Amino acid sequence: MASSILLPPGGQRILFVLAHPDDAEFLAAGTVARLVEEGCHVHYLLVTRGDKGDDDGDLTPEEVARIREREQREAAQVLGVETVTFLDGYFDGEVEPTMQLRREIAHVIRRWKPDVLFTLDPWRRGEIHPDHRAVGFCALDALASARGRLYFPEQLTEGVTPHKIRQVYLFPTDKPNHWVDISPVLEKKIAALQCHASQVKGSSVRERVKRRAMLAGAEHRLAYAEAFHHLSV
């Protein structure tokens, strides 16, 4: 029997910590749409602007970053995401799990006070993108830092207070223990992903999305699903 995210409407604050524009749309947009429909307040925090995402063209990294930031904001609007925030000073393919990145994510957690964290699974076998590993590790490390008053105490002088997140969902994962039925919102997921026009060229995106979602849902007799590894912390 597949589990589902049971969040009361109107109350839960959800933070997605992501490495690049399109990470959420490729991997979790159906869940984002379901959360918004249930009345949750979804926020994106992106570490980079995906400035290396132009393998075939002649754009500069700065031009790519501007395009991809715009695409991300458009996709978030399709899904109903309330805010999209980009960190500065981090570049596609160059993110490392530093104390500074942990500090910045912890500050966002303390300031926004989310109930639930979604982030990239740094332990997934075969995860070759260094940014995904680095962002996942730093987001998880930031959970502990955000809780304690003696971690980054300079932040507390800004009127920001310690905050505990109890629920975490990791994706993409090779150890799923939580599935979300995205069948009712599949078309919205596809529409959001198509906003990333610089990355999803050609007509195959619909079939790619459907195939991935069918595989995720097959074990639990769901037409289309997204899979996560859930942690209670």
Mean pLDDT of the chain: 93
Instruction: Say what the pTM is.
Output: 0.94
b/e code 151-184 from CB counts within 10 Å (16+ = b): bbeebeeeebebbebebbbbbbbeebebbbbbee
For the cut 90, the answer to whether the pLDDT of residue 203 exceeds it is no
| Averaged pLDDT, 197-212 | 87
Please list, in sequence order, all residues whose beta carbon lies within 8 angstroms of the beta carbon of residue 187, skipping any fewer than 6 positions away: none
For the cut 70, the answer to whether the pLDDT of residue 5 exceeds it is no
Q: Parallel, antiparallel, or unpaired for β 83-86 and 41-46?
A: parallel
pLDDT band at 3 (very low <50, low <70, confident <90, very high): low
Residue 224 confidence (pLDDT): 97
Residue 68, helix vs strand vs coil: helix
Residue 172: asked if its preceding bond is cis (omega within 30°), the reply is: yes
pLDDT > 70: percent of the chain? 95
Residue linked to tokens 């899979």? 227
Q: Please state, as a whole number, how many other Cβ atoms lie within 10 Å of the Cβ of residue 8.
A: 9
b/e code 29-49 from CB counts within 10 Å (16+ = b): bbbbbbbbeeebbbbbbbbbb
Residue 158 confidence (pLDDT): 76
For the cut 50, the answer to whether the pLDDT of residue 7 exceeds it is no
Which stretch of DSSP H or E encloses residue 46? Answer: strand 41-46
Task: Delimit the domains of the chain by residue range.
Answer: 13-232
pLDDT band at 169 (very low <50, low <70, confident <90, very high): very high
**Domain spanning 13-232: CATH 3.40.1390.10:** no
Residue 10 confidence (pLDDT): 59
Note whether 186 and 30 are within 8 A (CB). yes
pLDDT digits (tens, 9 = 90+) for 23-45: 999 999 999 999 999 999 999 99
